[in-house]
Structure 1
Amino acid sequence: MPELRVGERSLTVEPACNLLDALLAGGVAVPYSCRAGSCHACLVRCLRGEPLDAKPGALDGERREQGWRLACQCRIVDDLQIEVFDPLRDGRPARIDSCDWLSPNVLRLRLVPQQTLRYRAGQHLVLWTEGGVARPYSLASLPGEDPWLEFHLDCRQSGAFSDAARNFRPGDSLRLGELRGGALHYDPDWQARPLWLLAAGTGLAPLFGILREALRQDHQGDIRVVHLAQDPTEHYLAEPLAALADSHPQLQVEQPSAAQLPAALAGLRLVSRKTLALLCGHPHSVETFARRLYLAGIPRNQVFADLFLPHA
């Protein structure tokens, strides 16, 4: 039976058991969210031994060389000694610049990191509270233009991080964890092509950053933004989007509610086979978008999606 060591703790585990499950069963506090190798909340570092990793490509080469692994994707096949990610030791400090409610359920969080963070529109970060609660959130800010890192937090449902976020105040400290690439980005080679951005809920956050990146790079093709919300009060970026549309004639913005979505999607008519589509939000909404785009004739390799997976 393999032995799993975490600090001074020693656990005897079943062969080939999942590392995250073994840690949780042994009383080791490891944050996790998606269990799919996407959010990077469950980072651990291997000090001795090597687990069987189902997604070795989920981390970059430098991180892997340092021994970091995603616990949810690893199985224990031999004796293993690890240490869990410690935000005080391994995270990057940041200060809350502001936190404002953009709608009844969406909290805008702006952070100023202690050290400059290089990122691109569409990426996401794991945020850590001072109490050790971690959750990944997409960046809505635009690098090189916004002096802060901006996140849009969906606080509609109760959760460890969203409950803590309701009590955030300017000046509070947070820690920044792993910066993740994600499938969403803006490529300068797309400049002349039609661009469709379809978001559900706070899936609008990364697409808002990408939209502004496209406009900053003087995107010449038509841009269509569709933001799905449960009701009109949750179209939380209605004014900024309207202002962008007023100053950029190639930009069209639609903001359907759930009841209006079928009609809005039916109105998506393909003008060019070169159209690109970026989708973000809850898996069910993204799948609904993707089905309509397929029927509209957009090739699958021109559709890019990032799913906001529910907490496992």
Structure 2
Amino acid sequence: MPELSVGDRHWSVEPGCNLLDALLEAGQSVAHSCRAGSCGACRVRCLHGEPLDARPDALPASERAAGWRLACQCRVSEDLGVELFDPAQQTLAAEVVGHDWLAPEVLRLRLAAEVPLRYQAGQHLLLWRDHSLARPYSLASLPGEDAFLEFHIDCAGRGGFCDHARRLRPGDPLRLSGLQGGALRYEPEWQERPLWLLATGTGLAPLWAILREALRQGHAGPIHLLHLARSSTEHYLADALDGLAQRHTNLQVTLLEHSETGAWLQAQRPSRDTLALLCGAPARVDALARALYLAGLPRGQLYREPYITAAGA
């Protein structure tokens, strides 16, 4: 049986067992969230041995070269020694500089990092409550323009991080790590093409940043932003979006409730060169992508980033 070791502790595990489960069952403190290789919370560094990694592309090449792996995506097939991620030493300190409610259940959290952070519109970060709880959130701020890091947190449910976020006040500390980019981004060569930005709930956060990045770069093609919400009160950036639409004639904004989605989709006829960026709840993102594909949009022009979160986030 393979032997797993952390520091001075060594124990035998079943061949092929999930590395995250093996660590947690042995009482090791490993932050984790999505278990899908998306959030990056459960990273560990391999000191000797090599696990079977189902998602070798989930971390940047530089981190993999340094031995970092996502425990939730690894299986133990041989003797393996790992070092746990230490949030106290390997994260960036930040301070709350803004805490307000954009809608009854949507919290806008603004942070100032102790060291300026270089990032791109569409990327996300891990926010740490403490050493054992971290959650990924997309950046809604625009690099080079906003003097803070902004996050939109859906607090409709109850959970460890949401409950903590509700109680935060300006001046309170948080820690940050795991800056990553997924499918969402803006490319300069897209400037002449029709751009559709489709968001559900707080999936609007990264698309708000990408929209402003596209406009800052002088996007010349038409832009259509769709925001789907549970009710009209949850269109939390309606005024800001309206202001942008009034200043940019190529921007069209549509705000719908979920019950109106079907009729909207049936009426859409995207051109063959349209690019669509989708973000939000997995089931709704999948439904939107499927409908756009059936309407004639090639899969290679659909950029999807579903929010994958743990229960009790």
1:147 to 2:166 alignment:
no
User: 1:244, CA displacement in angstroms?
Assistant: 0.5
5+ long unaligned stretches in structure 1 = none
Counterpart in the other structure of 1:219: 219
User: 1:131, CA displacement in angstroms?
Assistant: 5.6
User: 1:158, CA displacement in angstroms?
Assistant: 1.0
Counterpart in the other structure of 1:302: 301
CA offsets per residue over residues 91-117 of structure 1, 9 Å max, x none? Answer: 111111111111111111111111111
SS in 1 for 2:218: coil
Cα distance in 2 between the residues matched to 1:61 and 1:274: 31
Q: Is the 8 A contact 2:32 2:134 kept in 1?
A: yes
Counterpart in the other structure of 1:287: 286
Counterpart in the other structure of 2:56: 56
After TM superposition, the score normalised by the length of structure 1 is 0.96
Cα distance in 2 between the residues matched to 1:33 and 1:294: 31
User: 1:260, CA displacement in angstroms?
Assistant: 1.5
Q: Is the 8 A contact 1:195 1:224 kept in 2?
A: yes
SS in 2 for 1:81: strand
Counterpart in the other structure of 1:250: 250
Counterpart in the other structure of 1:177: 177
1:275 to 2:274 alignment:
yes
Q: Is the 8 A contact 1:245 1:251 kept in 2?
A: yes
SS in 2 for 1:99: strand
CA offsets per residue over residues 186-209 of structure 1, 9 Å max, x none? Answer: 011010111000000010000000
Counterpart in the other structure of 2:163: 163
Structure 1 window deviating more from structure 2 (134-143 vs 62-71): it is 62-71
Change (3 A) 1:236 1:266: same
CA offsets per residue over residues 172-226 of structure 1, 9 Å max, x none? Answer: 1111111111001001101011100000001000000000000000111110011
Cα distance in 2 between the residues matched to 1:152 and 1:58: 24
Extract structure 1 runs of 4+ deviating beyond 3 A. none
Change (3 A) 1:269 1:281: same
Q: Is the 8 A contact 1:4 1:10 kept in 2?
A: yes
Cα distance in 1 between the residues matched to 2:310 and 2:11: 26
1:311 alignment partner AA? A
Change (3 A) 1:128 1:139: same
Cα distance in 1 between the residues matched to 2:91 and 2:72: 20
Identity of aligned residues (%): 59
CA offsets per residue over residues 49-84 of structure 1, 9 Å max, x none? Answer: 221212222212211122111001111112222121
User: 1:11, CA displacement in angstroms?
Assistant: 2.6
After TM superposition, the score normalised by the length of structure 2 is 0.96
Root-mean-square deviation (CA), in Å? 1.2
Cα distance in 2 between the residues matched to 1:19 and 1:138: 27
Cα distance in 2 between the residues matched to 1:120 and 1:253: 23
Write out aligned runs for 1:84-95 (5 A). 84-95=84-95
Counterpart in the other structure of 2:112: 112
Structure 1 window deviating more from structure 2 (213-222 vs 53-62): it is 53-62
Q: Is the 8 A contact 2:32 2:133 kept in 1?
A: no
Q: Is the 8 A contact 2:30 2:132 kept in 1?
A: no
Cα distance in 2 between the residues matched to 1:21 and 1:233: 41
5+ long unaligned stretches in structure 2 = none
Number of residue pairs matched by the alignment: 311
Counterpart in the other structure of 2:79: 79
User: 1:24, CA displacement in angstroms?
Assistant: 1.2
CA offsets per residue over residues 143-187 of structure 1, 9 Å max, x none? Answer: 000011111111111111111111111111111111111001001
2:96 alignment partner AA? I
Change (3 A) 1:131 1:100: farther
Cα distance in 2 between the residues matched to 1:66 and 1:26: 25
Q: Is the 8 A contact 2:87 2:131 kept in 1?
A: no
Q: Is the 8 A contact 1:129 1:173 kept in 2?
A: no
Counterpart in the other structure of 2:229: 229
2:178 alignment partner AA? E
Q: Is the 8 A contact 1:130 1:173 kept in 2?
A: no
1:242 alignment partner AA? D
